[in-house]
Structure 1
Amino acid sequence: MASADVASQIRDEQVQLDRLNMQAEAAAERYNAGRIALVGSQQRSALAQARLHAQDTQVASLRSQAGAFAARVYMQGPAGQAVAIMGGTTPEQVLGQLSVLNNISRDQAQVLSLLATARHRQAQATADAAQALAAAKATVTKLEADKQAVESSAVQAQQVLKQLQAKQAQLIQAAKDAAAKRAAQARAAALAEQARQAQAALVAFRSQPVAVEAPPAAPARVVHYSGSAAQVAVQVAMSELGKSYVWGASGPDTFDCSGLTMYAYAAAGISLPHFAAAQFNEGRHVSQGELQPGDLVFFESDLGHMGMYIGNGQFLHAPHTGDVVKISPLSGYYQQQYAGAVRIAG
């Protein structure tokens, strides 16, 4: 499987994992809501059970009182009832006692009927509460199962993603190893070719009957620059394009960032220290909108890098080890790290 295919699968699996994680979070919230509803149902069911128990107690008490009253009347018999009635001294009293007995019996029957009705309703409410509680428990159980299922899918997706990432790392390492092997083979071939050429040259040299005198060395080339100090500095710096960066170097064959600007302005007759932060304190500070060719531009909060502005939004600099003196746009990363500019001449 190619590394590009694995990378595509990783992207797809990451999208799937993100979706499952969101679903798991939503399922967890639904589960939390179900648990809250379950607590409410439990409270309502407990309250209904307590009310039903109170109704049962009251009905039992009234039934006990009615039973005791009926037992006394039965045990006394007709004579006892007559004595209770005849206990009155006047006809009005006798009639009153009869009315009381009738009212007591009627009121107790009515109260018992009302309590029986209330108890039936409370029993129905209790049954409804119990049914709602059972439904809430079932809902919570299902929500918990849903949550666990989504979380399990997310865990599986995470495992697949890790496997794909491990496979991608293996492919990348294999590609690096293959590239390193090819590079080593190329270097070995180049060294072998150099050795062959050197051997051939040695054989050719030894076969020469007479040594040839070498011509005299040519005099060193002298370059003359014209214009203002800033123009001369730009011309000198431009002439060093392609030369290697070496830390602490200030020419003529290698440079670091402050060594390049020091070297260029030295050719224009201006001495600068070999230190970016010190050069930042030379000359006059100018805004980015005022930049002119020859101005020194600085980067990073600690002024760890610098270069020379050459116009058209570009600057020339010696970047870092492994690189060469080159021109870069004053944008992107360098715009983000821009710290200021100084005009040395003009």
Structure 2
Amino acid sequence: MAAHRKPQQYPLGGRAARTAATLALASAATATVFEGSGHAEPRPPPAQVKAQVDRLYQEAEVATERYNAAKEKATEARSSLDRLRDEAARRTERLNTLRSGLGAIATAQYRSGGLDPAVRLALTSDPDQYLARAAIAEKAGERQAAALGSVRRELTGIGQLRAESTRRLTELRDHEAELRRQETAVRAKLGEARTLLARLTAEERARYEAAATGSGRLGAADPSSASGGRADRDSLARGPVTAPNTRAAQAVSFAQGQLGKPYMWGATGPSAYDCSGLTQAAWRAAGVALPRTTYTQINAGRRISRSELAPGDLVFFYSGISHVGLYIGGGQMIHAPRPGAPVRVAPIDEMPFVGATRVG
């Protein structure tokens, strides 16, 4: 019987061994190169990241204003729906009262034998009593006819209220769907911006954030750091500002009190703001009700030219009118810039100016 033995392996030697070792080392080196190149992405220049992040923040602000508009419309539709439902409940209560009254009349007629009032009057032997009862019956008939008319009007009104409520409910659901779409868009843009910023070194991110709270230009000196520019900005930040009227002064004073508070998209205060939320709150403190969004605020007053600017005016930026600030004089404004950049004083030249409006 043959024995089953494992075939003997003979180690390579001499030239063959050296060749095998060389191939193994080359293979390992190649694998390392390919593995490294598959995972290491080239880091873009900081200026390129800054430009992309700025674009994403601007797009997020556009979506934020659309979110604000959808939220405002949803709130209005919800309030209108609540009012319609309250009115329908009141009219239904009146209808039930009218129906109860008609039921009492029908019950009385049944108990009296169901005779027509005229027949019952004709059987009355006393002429005076006949005339008196005839007058009463006529009035009772008029009241009954009026009650029937009221019932019909209430039924018609309730039907109209229900139809309007259905329409408002459809509008509300549409606005809420738009609200969710814009919220998703904002979060996506901000998420992309955070991902890009994470590709910068800690030093580069610090420089970007410093620029965002200063001049807004990565790697450039803050123009306000010059003695004159810094002094002008500091004097406008919290000091008294000469405004054209009391309300404008109150709006500016309120905005000065919000300096340093964080930006939060969709926020209207008091602890955080987005750009239009800040201007709306500032003018509300002055007794003026502004609409919610940038592209409705620009039509809330009289349009003025850049040369006419005075403290309290609203200044708007970008072609889509997606950003707004409160002018405080000296070419400066107070605004809520973007996530990570708190409410601050900034030059109106740091963004593309598209118009201004005077309110109050």
TM-score of the two chains, using structure 2 as the length reference: 0.40
- TM-score of the superposition, structure 1-length normalised? 0.41
Please tell me whether Structure 1 or Structure 2 has the larger radius of gyration of its CA atoms: 1
RCO greater where, 1 or 2, for CA within 8 Å and sep 6 or more? 2
